[in-house]
Amino acid sequence: MSAEIICIGTELLLGDILNTNCHYLAQELAALGIPHYYQSVVGDNIERIHQVISIAIARSSMLIFTGGLGPTPDDLTTEAIASFFNTPLEEKANIVADIEAKFASTGRVMTSSNRKQALVPQGAETLPNPLGTAPGIIWQIPREDQESLTIMTFPGVPSEMKRMWRDTSVPYLKNQGWGQDLIHSQMLRFRGISESALAEKVAEVFTLSNPTVAPYASLGEVRLRVSAKAKSESEAIALIEPVAQKIKDIVGLDYFGKDEESLSSVVGSLLKSENRTVAVAESCTGGGLGSILTENAGSSAYFKGGVIAYDNLIKINLLEVNSDDLDQFGAVSSAIAYQMANGVKKIFQSDYGISITGIAGPDGGTELKPVGLIYIGLAVPEKQTIVKQFQLGNKRERSLIRKLSAYQALDLLRRYLLSD
Amino acid sequence: MSAEIICIGTELLLGDILNTNCHYLAQELAALGIPHYYQSVVGDNIERIHQVISIAIARSSMLIFTGGLGPTPDDLTTEAIASFFNTPLEEKANIVADIEAKFASTGRVMTSSNRKQALVPQGAETLPNPLGTAPGIIWQIPREDQESLTIMTFPGVPSEMKRMWRDTSVPYLKNQGWGQDLIHSQMLRFRGISESALAEKVAEVFTLSNPTVAPYASLGEVRLRVSAKAKSESEAIALIEPVAQKIKDIVGLDYFGKDEESLSSVVGSLLKSENRTVAVAESCTGGGLGSILTENAGSSAYFKGGVIAYDNLIKINLLEVNSDDLDQFGAVSSAIAYQMANGVKKIFQSDYGISITGIAGPDGGTELKPVGLIYIGLAVPEKQTIVKQFQLGNKRERSLIRKLSAYQALDLLRRYLLSD
Identify the pLDDT of residue B225.
85
Angle at B383 between CA B377 and CA B388, to 5 degrees: 25
Residues A186 and A142 in one domain: no
**What is the rounded CA–CA span in Å between residue A211 and residue A183?**
9
Q: What is the pLDDT of residue B109?
A: 81
Q: Which of B319, B326, B317, B331 is nearest to B279 (CA)?
A: B319
Is A7 a residue whose pLDDT tops 90?
Answer: yes
Q: Judge if A248 and A99 occupy the same domain.
A: no
Q: Strand locations in B70-220, DSSP E? A: 89-91, 119-121, 125-127, 136-143, 146-154, 182-190, 212-218
B331, B278: one domain: yes
Residue B173: strand, helix, or coil: helix
CB contact under 8 A, A206 and B306: no
- Which candidate in A6, A13, A345 is best for mutational testing of the B interface (most B CBs within 10 A)? A13
Contacts for A298 with CB less than 8 Å, ≥ 6 apart: A268, A272, B363
The pLDDT of residue B218 is above 70: no
pLDDT digit string (tens) for A331-354?
999 999 999 999 999 999 999 999
Give the per-residue pLDDT at B420: 72
For A278, phi then psi, to 5°, come to: -140, 150
pLDDT of residue B125: 95
A225 and A130: one domain? no
Contacts (Cβ under 8 Å, ≥6 apart) of B275: none
Asked whether the predicted pLDDT for residue A161 surpasses 90, the reply is: yes
Give the single-character DSSP code of B409: H
Q: Tell me, what's the pLDDT at A415?
A: 97
**Is residue A385 over pLDDT 70?**
yes
Pairwise CA distance, residues A191 & A225, whole Å:
15
What's the CA gap between B384 and B278, in Å, rounded? 16
Chain B stretch 154-213, residues whose beta carbon is closer than 8 A to a beta carbon of chain A = 157, 159
In angstroms, what separates the C-alpha of B110 from chain A's closest C-alpha?
9
Q: Indicate yes or no: CB of B74 within 8 angstroms of CB of A303.
A: no
Considering only residues B39 and A73, tell me which one the structure prediction assigns the higher pLDDT: B39
Which residues fall within 8 angstroms of residue A395, CB to CB, at 6 or more apart? B105, B130, B131
Name the DSSP letter for residue A381: S
Which residues, at least 6 apart from B19, have a Cβ–Cβ distance to it below 8 Å?
A18, A19, A22, A23, B7, B12, B41
End-to-end CA, chain A: 53
CB contact under 8 A, B399 and A295: yes
Find the mean pLDDT for residues A289-314: 95
What's the mean pLDDT in A299-307?
Answer: 96
Residues B309 and B409 in one domain: yes
Angle value at C-alpha B92, between B90 and B95, nearest 5 degrees = 140
Of these ranges, A97-106, A125-134, B295-304, the one predicted with the greatest mean pLDDT is B295-304
Q: What is the CA radius of gyration of chain B?
A: 27
Over residues B55-76, the mean pLDDT reads 94
Task: Name the pLDDT band for A36 (thresholds 50, 70, 90).
Answer: very high
Task: Look at residue B274 and tell me whether its pLDDT is greater than 90.
Answer: yes
* Interface residue A24 vs chain B (CB under 8 A): yes
In single-letter form, the type of residue at position B241 comes to E
Name the residue among B20, B214, B307 with its Cβ closest to that of A307. B307
Non-local (6+) Cβ contacts of B166 within 8 A are none
SS3 call for A191: coil
Q: CB contact, 8 Å: A304 with chain B?
A: yes
Which residues on A lie below 8 Å from B314 (Cβ)?
304-305, 348
Please indicate whether, in this complex, the C-beta atoms of B38 and A52 are within 8 angstroms of each other: yes
Asked whether residue A296 falls in the same domain as residue A209, the answer is: no
Could you say which of B225, B258, B291 is where a domain stops? B258
CB contact (8 A) between residue B11 and residue A402 = no
Contacting B residues, span 43-62, partner chain A, CB-CB under 8 Å: 43, 45, 48, 51-52, 55, 59
Q: Is B92 exposed, middle or buried (0-12, 13-18, 19+ CB in 10 A)?
A: middle
Do A162 and A22 lie in one domain? The reply is yes
> In the predicted model, is pLDDT for residue A113 greater than 80?
no
Q: Measured at the alpha carbon of residue B363, what is the angle toward residues B281 and B312, in degrees to the nearest 5?
A: 35
Chain A residues inside the 8 Å CB shell of B130: 395
CA B199/CA B215 separation, integer angstroms: 7
- B108 contacts in chain A (CB < 8 Å): 194, 197
pLDDT band at residue B219 under the 50/70/90 scheme? low
Band (A115; pLDDT cuts 50, 70, 90): confident
Longest CA span, chain B:
87
Instruction: Give the per-residue pLDDT at A148.
Output: 93
Nearest CA-CA partner of B353 in B408, B409, B404: B409
Q: Which residue of A has its CA nearest to B11?
A: A216
Looking at the structure, do residues B145 and B77 belong to the same domain, yes or no?
yes
Question: Letter for the amino acid at B118?
Answer: A
- Nearest CA-CA partner of B56 in A209, A38, A394, A335: A38
Look at A99-113, A294-308, B10-24 and tell me which has the smallest mean pLDDT: A99-113
Chain B partners of A11 at a C-beta cutoff of 8 Å? none
Whether the ipTM is more than 0.85: the answer is: no
B285 within 8 A of B402, measured Cβ to Cβ: yes
Task: Please give the residue of chain B at the shortest CA–CA distance from A36.
Answer: B13
Q: Is the pTM of this model over 0.80?
A: no
Range of weakest confidence among A255-259, B114-118, B250-254: B114-118
Q: Rounded CA gap, A30 and A289, in Å? A: 36
Minimal-distance CA residue of chain A relative to B105 = A393
What integer best gives the mean pLDDT of chain B?
A: 93
Number of domains comprising chain B: 3
Looking at beta carbons, which residues of chain A come within 8 Å of B19? 18-19, 22-23
Which residues in A lie closer than 8 A to residue B219 (C-beta atoms)? none
Q: Which H helix or E strand runs over B20?
A: helix B20-32
* Residues B399 and B305 placed together within one structural domain of the fold: yes
Residues of A in contact with B11 (CB under 8 A): 214, 216
- Give the model's pLDDT for residue B275: 97
A337 and A325 Cβ atoms separated by less than 8 Å: no
Per-residue pLDDT at B217: 64
Q: Which of A41, A52, A285 sits opposite B291 (nearest CB)?
A: A285
Q: What's the mean pLDDT in A257-269?
A: 95
pLDDT of residue B395: 74
Between strands A136-143 and A146-154, the pairing is: antiparallel
Residues B289-317 as b or e (16 or more Cβ within 10 Å = b): bbbbbbbbeebbebbbbbbbbbbbbbbbb
Is the pLDDT at B325 greater than 90? The verdict is yes
The pLDDT of residue A15 is: 87
Q: Indicate if A23 and A108 belong to the same structural domain.
A: yes
**Which of A310, A318, A396 should one mutate to test binding to chain B, selecting the residue with the greatest count of B CBs within 10 A?**
A310
Q: Average pLDDT of chain A?
A: 93
Q: Which amino acid makes up residue A162?
A: K
Q: Which domain CATH number covers B372? A: 3.90.950.20
Confidence of residue B42 (pLDDT cuts 50, 70, 90): very high
Residue B336 in this model has a pLDDT that exceeds 70: yes
CATH number of the domain within which A215 lies = 3.30.70.2860
Q: How far is B148 from chain A (nearest CA, A)?
A: 22
pLDDT at position A151 is 97
Nearest CA in chain A to B102: A393
What pLDDT is stored for residue A375 in this prediction?
Answer: 98
Res. B183: pLDDT tops 80? no
- Per-residue model confidence as pLDDT tens digits over B83-131: 999 999 999 999 999 998 888 887 778 888 888 999 999 999 999 999 8
Q: Determine whether the interchain pair A15/B37 forms a contact, defined as Cβ–Cβ distance below 8 Å.
A: no
Task: List the one residue out of A385, A254, A373 whose CA is nearest residue B107.
Answer: A373
pLDDT tens column, B377-407: 999 999 999 999 999 877 778 998 999 999 9
- Calculate how close chain A gets to B245, using CA atoms only, in Å: 24
What does the DSSP 8-state code read for residue B167?
A: I
Give the pLDDT of residue A330.
Answer: 95
Rounded (5°) CA angle A398-A403-A408: 125
pLDDT classification of B214: cutoffs 50, 70, 90:
confident
Of the candidates B16, B40, B282, the beta carbon closest to that of A40 is on: B40
From residue B87, how far is each of A207, B84, B94, B285 by CA, in Å?
28, 8, 20, 55
Q: φ and ψ at A396, to 5 degrees?
A: -80, 155
For residue B3, what pLDDT band results from cuts at 50, 70 and 90?
Answer: very high
Chain A: closest CA distance from residue B122 (Å): 25
Looking at A175, A193, A226, which one is the last position of a domain? A175
Whole-angstrom Cα distance, residue A148 to residue A139? 10
What SS3 state is found at A103? helix
Alpha carbon distance A12, A118 (integer Å): 25
Cβ of B300 under 8 Å from any chain A Cβ?
yes
Distance CA A268, CA A414 (A): 9
Q: How far apart are CA A389 and CA A346, in angstroms?
A: 23
Of the residues A227, A258, A289, the one at which a domain ends: A258
Q: How many Cβ atoms from other residues are within 10 Å of residue A309's Cβ?
A: 31
Instruction: Give the phi and the psi of residue B269 in degrees, each rounded to 5.
Output: -65, -40
How does B128-165 read in b/e, with b if 16+ C-beta sit within 10 Å? ebebbbbbbbbbebeeeeeeebbbbbbbbbbebbbbbb
Choose among B415, B367, B89, B79: nearest CA to B266. B415
Collapsing DSSP to helix, strand or coil, B9 comes out as coil
A308 vs B305: CB contact, 8 Å cut-off? yes
Domain membership of residue B304 as a residue range: 263-419
Chain A residues whose beta carbon lies within 8 Å of the beta carbon of residue B113: 196, 199-200
For the segment A67-77, the average pLDDT, to the nearest whole number, is 86
Asked if B358 and B374 touch (Cβ cutoff 8 Å), the reply is yes
Contact A396 B70 (CB under 8 A): no
**pLDDT tens digit string along A274-292?**
999 999 999 999 999 999 9
Tell me the pairing of strands B146-154 and B62-66: parallel
Q: What is the pLDDT of residue B177?
A: 83
Same domain, A223 and A138: no
Of the candidates B278, B415, B254, the residue with the CA atom closest to the CA atom of residue B353: B278
Inter-residue contact A305 to B316 (CB < 8 Å): no
pLDDT band at B200 (very low <50, low <70, confident <90, very high): confident
Backbone angles phi, psi at B258, to 5 degrees: -130, 155
Chain B residues near residue A299 by CB distance under 8 angstroms: 286, 310
Stated as kind and residue range, the H or E segment containing B270 is: helix B263-273
Q: Does residue B300 sit in the same domain as residue B385?
A: yes
Give chain B positions within 8 Å (CB) of A402. Answer: 291, 294
Q: What is the average pLDDT across B48-63? A: 96
CA distance A241 to A248: 10
The predicted structure's pLDDT at residue B117: 92
State mean pLDDT over B63-67: 98
How many whole angstroms separate alpha carbon A281 and alpha carbon A251?
31
Residue A150 has pLDDT above 80, yes or no: yes
CA angle (B371, B375, B377) in 5-degree steps: 160
